Structure 1
Amino acid sequence: MSTATTRAIGTFAFRPLDPLADAELVHSWVTHPKAAFWMMQDHSVADVRRDYAAIAAHPHHDAFIGLHDGEPAFLMERYDPSKAELVGLYEARPGDVGMHFLVAPTDTPLHGFTRAVITAVMAELFRDPATERVVVEPDVRNEAVHALNAAVGFEIVERIAKPEKDAYLSVCTREQFLAAVGAAR
């Protein structure tokens, strides 16, 4: 588990998601109306447990609970896009890492929190020196995440058709990330 502190927001850390222990918590996040683009609105707790057990068993896909000041506050998935999620949909390069993130719903939003989360997620992914680019595939309709992605250095490469959605394949190199957030750090 690693930690990072973002000015005025607090400390972020990551721990592996435990499909059994975390299923109820994650279920409350992925079925919330604000998580519509996560496409798990109709999932039961058992469905969430099953889906995350499959991720835990997958050799090229991992899920993490993100902690804010020690409390669960977001979800991050990391995957090898040449072996999961994007197989056959783009030309993967060595050093590409796929990512999904979801901020937990809250009744007391903290200004700048979601941007701090994606910044912490990207920093965590780039902590691995083998990571050259982060690759994402958000739904084309998810304007909020497109703005967040741009804020941390992502560029849209192309529109792709996945079985479950039309998405903007977007990439961010380490250099793009550092240039985008350099002034904010």
Structure 2
Amino acid sequence: MNTAEHQPREFPGAIYQEYFPLMKKTIWARKVDINLDVDIIHTWMNRPHVEEFWHMAWSKERIADYLEKAQAKEGFDCYITFVEDEPMAYFEMYHPHSDPVGATYDVQEGDLGLHVLIGEEKYQRRYIIRLSALMMRLVFNYHPETQRIIGEPDVNNTQIQGVMKFVGFRFMNNVTLPDKIGALHCLRREDFEQAHGPVKAA
């Protein structure tokens, strides 16, 4: 949402960008470029607030290998989000039918799975609800066919579950996954639009 006094730049490779009035800055995202992004993703994965739930406090080489294999999967994509020129978050979009979570619930046409980490704690502490809503808008814009976003955070991650509730996610049930017990949630496009306004396809 751009204001008259803010003239947004064009960010190379951006899949979506939106002006964030609270910060008076543009939030945008692009696909991960391993050569450019492995250092910051490695740093985030090794931070305590991320490692507690992602369990990927690995070497840089192992993180690069993970990203390469993840991007090679059908229906799986990795992205990095920025506040202007500052990297802020990492997220993954995936099709539930090709992921272990797909065996835990009745996958519907138009479902899209999402994993999100906010690497910079200053944004997690101060803006997490607004930023999370913005990222959901990003997903619905980038994938106009998506009718539900599926998330399955660790059951012990009560903070993110609270954020999800504010954004509009509905709790479905707890599910057993290979690396955790997940709290399965879904965000319906119609619920998001009712709470946050219309989403227009990019």
TM-score (norm: length of structure 2): 0.84
Aligned equivalent of 1:81, options 96, 99, 105:
96
Aligned equivalent of 2:53, options 14, 37, 47:
37
Percent identical: 26
Aligned equivalent of 1:141, options 156, 160, 175:
156
Aligned equivalent of 2:192, options 169, 177, 185:
177
Deviation, structure 1 residue 109: 5.1
Deviation, structure 1 residue 129: 1.7
Task: Give the alignment's Cα RMSD to 1 decimal.
Answer: 1.6
Matched, 1:165 2:180: yes
Deviation, structure 1 residue 22: 1.3
Matched, 1:51 2:31: no
1:14: which partner in 2? Answer: 29
Matched, 1:121 2:140: no
Q: Does the 8 A contact of 1:19 with 1:56 survive in 2?
A: no
Tell me the distance in 1 between the aligned counterparts of 2:153 and 2:124: 23
Q: 1:159 to 1:16 in 2, by over 3 A?
A: same
Query: Which runs of 4 or more aligned residues in structure 1 lie more than 3 Å from their structure 2 counterparts after TM superposition?
Result: 108-112
Q: Does the 8 A contact of 2:118 with 2:124 survive in 1?
A: no
RCO higher in structure (CA 8 A, sep ≥6) = 1
TM-score (norm: length of structure 1): 0.91
Aligned equivalent of 1:72, options 74, 87, 99:
87
Q: 1:124 to 1:51 in 2, by over 3 A?
A: same
Q: Does the 8 A contact of 1:34 with 1:105 survive in 2?
A: no
Q: How many pairs are equivalent?
A: 180
- Unaligned 5+ segments in structure 1 are none
2:146: which partner in 1? Answer: 131
